[in-house]
Amino acid sequence: MITAAKIHDVLRGTDSVTGTGVICDRLWPRGVSKADTEGFLWLKGIAPSPGLRKWFGHDPDRFEEFAARYRAELDEAFAAGNEDVKKLLQLGDATLLYAAKDRAINHAEILRDWANEKAR
């Protein structure tokens, strides 16, 4: 079971990644070389669904509702035995890497909290 999940903006580099690096975006981050992330996991199945991501549109006014909907998607994926969710939760120490422009309002914040709650 995951023991700790942290988040880090992959666009700022990968030097501070501890544990297993996990890219948690559904789309590969623009400007990030796959060579720079060699050895990291890319778990597309833990990202928000395309429909939810498009609905949210990184609108701060929608973040609270986005968080509730995304948590519901994660709970459903967990209950269904989603392989990417299972992999994430089996990691010990992990750093969730995202490429959103806003460092405070993004899905990695929600995913980190959700994964850490599952670890308890």
Instruction: Indicate the pTM of the whole model.
Output: 0.90
Number of domains in the chain: 1
Note the pLDDT of residue 1: 61
CA gap 106, 109 in Å, rounded: 6
Own/partner contacts of 63-68, CB < 8 Å, gap of 24 or more, are: 63/105, 66/107, 66/110, 67/110
Residue pLDDT tens, the chain, 120 long = 666 678 877 878 777 788 899 999 999 988 888 888 889 999 999 999 999 999 999 999 999 999 999 999 999 999 999 999 999 999 988 999 998 888 789 999 999 999 999 877
Q: Which domain holds residue 101?
A: 4-119
What pLDDT shows up at residue 3? Answer: 66
